[in-house]
Amino acid sequence: MKIWTSEHIFNHSWESVTGGQWQKYPNPHNQAVIGTDVLERKVENGVLYSNRIISSDWGLADWVQKLIGANKVCYAHEYSMVNPEERVMEMRSRNLSFNNFVNMEETMTYRPHPEHTDKTIMKQETIVTVQGVPLTSYMESIIVNTVSNNSNKGKAAMDWIVEKLGQECSALSISSSLDKIKQEILDLKHTVAGSLIQPARQSIEDLQARVQVDLQKLGHSIAQPVMLKAEDISSTKSL
């Protein structure tokens, strides 16, 4: 049996790291995990519990796969707990594939940094036990090295997804701000148009009124032209 432990500090808040954990796959840094399937998810007393099946490619050499009878795609069961009140996230996983020969138990815990609230501490422990095959200790060392390499890739992937989500949030915020500015400009155009049209309309009406008064003084009116009746037209013709 071999035990591998690691501790890492992310330069991101606990909320950002735990939120990114659910959207970490796929990513360009750690391509070992090729799929996740949620079996169950529930909330009890404000705590989120999840059960997932993780599909991954361990990247073992062909001769190792033949020795332990492993397929290229391996499966593991992951159980996780997120307690937002205590600000702790714990993830436990155990391999399902070729567990007659290899047992892997991994625990990952995320907590806020005690001194820097904008940082998160991740503690990881993996226990590897190989049995029933030749070169047991050597096989355990190979698997532990693989776990270590994938862990480094996983840290890079976490930084990547947190930054990606941050950029998406910023883009949405900028887009929303631009939409708001566009609407304010349209409202301003309507307001300006209204403030210009109303005085112009009043000026035209005043001008029309003055013209009407002037015409009345001359003995005319612009209301309607004089209409001749039929009998008036007949008498005019007879003359």
pLDDT digits (tens, 9 = 90+) for 55-91: 987 666 666 666 666 566 889 999 999 999 999 999 9
Task: Please check the confidence at residue 118 and state whether its pLDDT lies above 60.
Answer: yes
Distance CA 97, CA 143 (A): 14
**Greatest CA separation for the chain:** 139
Distance CA 54, CA 174 (A): 36
CA distances from 113 to 43, 99, 151, 156, 210 (A): 25, 36, 20, 19, 81
Task: Please check the confidence at residue 214 and state whether its pLDDT lies above 50.
Answer: yes
Tokens of 171: 């883009």
Q: Work out the pLDDT band at 156, boundaries 50, 70, 90.
A: very high
Task: Please check the confidence at residue 234 and state whether its pLDDT lies above 60.
Answer: no
pLDDT digits (tens, 9 = 90+) for 121-154: 999 999 999 988 788 888 889 888 888 888 888 8
Distance CA 35, CA 212 (A): 84
pLDDT (0 to 100) of residue 2:
93
Decide: 93 and 106 in contact? Cβ < 8 Å.
yes
Which pTM does this prediction carry?
Answer: 0.68
Task: Please check the confidence at residue 194 and state whether its pLDDT lies above 90.
Answer: no
Decide: 126 and 12 in contact? Cβ < 8 Å.
no
Comparing 229 with 149, the larger pLDDT belongs to 149
How many CA within 13 A on the CB side of residue 96?
11
Distance CA 215, CA 222 (A): 7
Which amino acid does the sequence have at 96? L
The helix or strand, by DSSP H or E, that contains position 7, with its residue range, turns out to be: strand 2-10
Q: Is 51 helix (H, G, I), strand (E, B) or coil?
A: strand
Cα angle for residues 147, 152, 158 (degrees, 5° grid): 115
End-to-end CA separation in angstroms for the chain: 135
Decide: 119 and 10 in contact? Cβ < 8 Å.
yes
Distance CA 43, CA 83 (A): 10
